[in-house]
Amino acid sequence: MERHGTSSVDCNDSSRSTGQTSGSDKTAAQQTALIVDDEPVSRAGMAARLKRLGYRVLQAGDGKAGLELLRRERPDLTILDWMMPELDGPSVCELVRRDPEVFSSQIILMTGHDQPEQIAEGLARGADDFLSKAASPQEITARVQAGMRAAGLIRRLEHATDEIRRKQEAIERELQSAARYVVSLLPAPGLLLPGLEMASAYRPSSALGGDLFNVLRWDEHSLGLYLLDASGHGVSPALRSASFSTFLRDDNLLHRVGSSDPGAILTEANRQFPLTENGSYFTIVFARLDIRTHTLFYATAGHNGLLLHRRSGEICYLAQPSLPLGFDGGNVYHTADTQLSPGDRLYLMSDGLYEVPSPTGELWGQARLKTSMREAAAKPLADALSHAIGAAEQWLGHQQFPDDIAVMGIELAG
Amino acid sequence: MSMITKERPVSNGVVLDITGDLTYANREQFKTAVERIRQRGVRYLILNMADVRFVDSSGLGLLALVSQNFKLSQGQVSMLKPQSYVREIMVLANIQKLIPVYDNEQEAVTGFKQAA
């Protein structure tokens, strides 16, 4: 075959006068075909035929120039001669399929020898369709139109995918921004009062978590501590938690409940936050610590995550079975109390920290969490939290916890 | 795991046999099955949990919701034979305060007659 250089590339816009359509939603006049053939006569013949069909036609005289034009112009359909020097048709197909920018291009491979083995090889190396040089004008027209139709559908699919990706990215940016807001609601670790240190950890399972914890400063001698968990995952529980945390502000509680008593606060919260129509609800542990007497007052609603680790080594969960908020509007939540001693640690945690499945489905559980806290008794408070989360992560086998993890620990200076 | 529900009449009410997990993923199916029964005017519903392996926090909320809805229609929901893990969740959430738990069907049916 005759050799043509890249100089043989030319561009011809066809007239729009034919008015024929390609079968896709675009008119034929808007669609572009690229013909890559080193044989000038057959290339010109095909170009003339396609122009008559109403397509814009680009031409290249060898594989390298054809590939260059395909990458630059992104034609809807490329008709590629098999036999060309240096870079033949199947090789061009392979290069196109490996290029993420143009891999979805529609390509018809054309040859004078349409043996079944050759057709199979051409398709295997990346052609979409096959055309014999001896094909009738009707067949050529039909195959070109079918190729254009497929190209139109692929373009639409790519546009839709791009659109979805753009929207997804916008939603993710929004979620990240909302997540930063949720984190801004959390208290800063450090000294809460002289002799009372706090450390915490927060790892939402998706961008937005439904767990929240906070510290309320009732007066210079007493603190409120709470950790709540909204059922479900994602945006809706996070919004409900943020709304609940507004209710739980100290000034609002004094106004609405008139007391810093944990049981009274949960009893009122239970009235204010009924089950939603989807059955969503909160569980919560609420505590009040009097730093002068070292007395801890606490109440829970369906929440079992209140762990007392005494300096003596004794470690126990304080919470008793109780209804989650909203399950029974008339329920009264009672306050219990216990005496803390210097060196004691108290943890408020979401069940996401211990309801962690191993790869075989076995849960890590509250007993193993206790063991982990015992192991970390000599470590600083913040390190004890990291130790427990690390142990849970090891049990899980990866870092993507299925549920939100929130934990806040306090330690009385000893 | 998906969920299969099958209902059968008993004296004074309906037993809903549930197979599968009562979780967030199956919430619509569970709600639909239960609402269909309630809207027929059935007042006493026994949820047979013998073949339920797992109830998550969403499932727990649905149980509370169903119990509240039946109470609004002067009815009552009770629970039959929860497996050990499910039973533990029910105990921690004190759910037996709202939904009586029975270990045999006859007792559950008798429980309704007493309530009625």
In this model, does residue A375 exceed pLDDT 90?
A: yes
Residue B97: its chain A contacts at CB < 8 A? 323, 328, 331
What tens digit of pLDDT does each residue of B41-78 get? 999 999 999 999 989 888 999 999 999 999 998 999 99
Distance CA A25, CA A12 (A): 23
**pLDDT at A180 (0 to 100):** 86
Tell whether B61 is within 8 A of chain A (Cβ).
Answer: yes
Interface with B, mutate which of A328, A334, A403 (most B CBs under 10 A) = A328
Q: Please report whether residue B112 resides in a domain.
A: no
Q: How confident is the model at residue A18 (pLDDT cuts 50, 70, 90)?
A: very low
CA A238 to each of CA A118, A220, A276, A371: distance values in angstroms, whole numbers, following the listed order: 60, 31, 14, 31
Domain end (from A126, A161, A196): A161
Q: Would the ipTM clear 0.90, i.e. be above it? A: no
The mean pLDDT of chain A is: 89
B58 interface with A at CB cutoff 8 Å? yes
Residue B20 lies in a domain: yes
- Measure in Å the smallest separation between the Cα of A227 and chain B Cα atoms: 16
**A326 shares contact with chain B (CB less than 8 Å):** yes
Residues with Cβ < 8 Å from A384, sequence gap 6 or more? A199, A345, A373, A376, A377, A409
Residue in A closest to B95 by C-alpha: A323
Is the model more confident about A36 or about B107? A36
Q: Are B36 and B25 spatial neighbours (Cβ–Cβ below 8 Å)?
A: no
Q: What is the residue type of B34?
A: V
pLDDT of res. A175: 86
**A151 and A192 housed in the same domain:** no
Mean per-residue pLDDT, A203-213: 84
Cross-chain residue pair A302–B24, CB shorter than 8 Å: no
Q: The CATH number of the domain where A210 resides is what?
A: 3.60.40.10
pTM for the predicted model, two decimal places = 0.75
Contact A4, A37 (CB under 8 A): no
Residues of A in contact with B29 (CB under 8 A): none
Establish if A135 belongs to a structural domain: yes
Q: Which of A130, A49, A44, A117 is nearest to A89 (CA)?
A: A130
Q: Which residue has the higher pLDDT, A75 or A133?
A: A75
Count the domains in chain A. Answer: 2
Q: Which has the closest alpha carbon to A308: A389, A409, A239?
A: A409
Banded model confidence at residue B89, pLDDT cuts 50, 70, 90: confident
Q: Note whether A33 and A73 are within 8 A (CB).
A: no
Smallest CA–CA distance from A331 into chain B, residue: B97
Is residue B41 in some structural domain? yes
B19, β-bridge pairs: B4, B51
Name residues 85-114 of chain B within 8 A of A (Cβ).
91-95, 97-98
Mean pLDDT of A66-79: 96
Q: What is the CATH number of the domain that holds B51?
A: 3.30.750.24
Mean pLDDT, residues A267-285 taken together: 95
Residues of A in contact with B27 (CB under 8 A): 278-279
Alpha-carbon span A19 to A52, nearest angstrom:
10
Contact call for A231 and B62, based on CB within 8 A: no
Q: Is A228 exposed, middle or buried (0-12, 13-18, 19+ CB in 10 A)?
A: buried
Owning domain of residue B76: 3-106
Helix axis angle, B27-39 to B57-72, nearest 10°: 10
pLDDT at A224: 96
Say how many domains are in chain B: 1
User: Comparing C-alpha atoms, which of A46, A86, A39, A44 is closest to residue A67?
Assistant: A86
Share of chain A above pLDDT 90, in %: 74
User: Is A383 near chain B, with CB under 8 Å?
Assistant: no
Residues A209 and A322 in one domain: yes
> Which residues of A, range 144-183, sit inside 8 Å of B by Cβ?
none
For A407, the 3-state DSSP assignment is: strand
Is the pLDDT at A77 greater than 60? The verdict is yes
Asked if residue B115 is part of any domain, the answer here is no
Residue A298 CB contacts under 8 Å (≥ 6 apart), including other chains: A262, A285, A286, A287, A288, A306, A318, A319, A335, A336, A337, A338
To the nearest whole angstrom, how far is the Cα of B97 from the nearest Cα of chain A? 8
Residues of chain B neighbouring A275 (CB-CB closer than 8 A): 61, 64-65, 68
What type of residue sits at position B58?
S
Report the candidate in A280, A180, A268 with the shortest Cα–Cα distance to residue A240.
A280
On the question of pLDDT at A63 being above 70, the answer is yes
| Residue B50 near residue B80 (C-beta atoms within 8 A) | yes
Q: In this structure, are A236 and A99 located in the same domain?
A: no
Query: Which CATH number do you get for residue A67?
Result: 3.40.50.2300
Q: Is the pLDDT of residue A293 over 60?
A: yes
DSSP string across chain B: --EEEEEEEETTEEEEEEEEEESGGGHHHHHHHHHHHHHTT--EEEEEEEEEEEE-HHHHHHHHHHHHHHHHTT-EEEEE---HHHHHHHHHTTGGGTS-EESSHHHHHHHHHHH-
Query: Does residue B18 form part of some domain?
Result: yes
The pLDDT of A373-389, averaged and rounded, is: 96
pLDDT at residue B113 in the model = 60
Could you tell me if A200 and A402 are in contact, meaning their C-beta atoms sit under 8 angstroms apart? no
Between positions 32 and 51 of B, the ones with CB within 8 A of A are none
Question: pLDDT value at position A3?
Answer: 41
Contact predicate A367/A348, CB 8 Å: no
Nearest to A322 among B60, B64, B94 (CB): B94
State the residue range of the domain holding A105. Answer: 6-161
Same domain? A152 vs A192:
no
Determine the Cα–Cα distance for residues A264 and A269; give it in Å rounded to an integer: 9
Chain A residue numbers touching B91 (CB-CB < 8 A): 321
Instruction: Tell me the CA distances in angstroms from A34 to A50, A281, A300, one per residue in order.
Output: 10, 62, 72
pLDDT at site A14:
40
Of B79, B56, B53, B54, nearest to B66 by C-alpha is B79
pLDDT, greater one: A337 or A207:
A337
> Is the predicted pLDDT of residue A64 greater than 60, yes or no?
yes
Rounded to an integer, the average pLDDT of A307-336 is 94
